Amino acid sequence: MTPAIKLLEKLKIPFSLHPYECEAHDDFGKHAATQLGLPEARVFKTLIVHHDKQAVVAIVPSSGMCSLKQLAKATGLKKVEMLPPAEAEKLTGYKVGGISPLAQKKRLPTVLDASALQFDSVLVSGGKRGLSVGVSAREMQEKMGWIIASIAE
């Protein structure tokens, strides 16, 4: 059981588990969607960006990319850029390909792309490669304080 799943259980947030076979890939989100037989638009990837010392979590569909300009606007930061993978791992406590937006070492501002609202649930990393969890965007906004904004392109 990962810290992400423990947090969902502790907060009594409904979720579903979606394990899948995973080998090292460059595009973990698209791989997860393929393995799970789900549309890439419903399987989201977790990205860590930063401005100076402020890190932010961006969650976007695996079918797209994050608009750094829109993300900066949504968070009120002047400009953001991707955090290098090794730094993202150190900051979150998770390995790339399994970085969950939940139960990271330090709670960071989290922005979920608004396209998630079209689904009853979206899949995000469950905290390790080969495990996704299905969660409601509205539930995460209410219970975790996630910001919902149009940040994908």
Q: What is the pLDDT of residues 52-92, one digit of tens each?
A: 999 999 999 999 999 999 999 999 999 999 999 999 999 99
**Single pTM value for the model:** 0.95
Residue 107 in tokens? 């709670």
Contact 126, 4 (CB under 8 A): yes
Q: Which fold has domain 3-149?
A: YbaK protein (3.90.960)
Q: Please identify every stretch of the chain with a pLDDT value under 70, giving residue numbers as ranges.
A: 24-25
Contact 59, 133 (CB under 8 A): no
Q: What is the DSSP string of 113-127?
A: EGGGGGSS-EEEEEE
pLDDT of residue 95: 94
pLDDT of residue 101: 98
CA separation for the pair 62, 152 (Å, rounded): 10
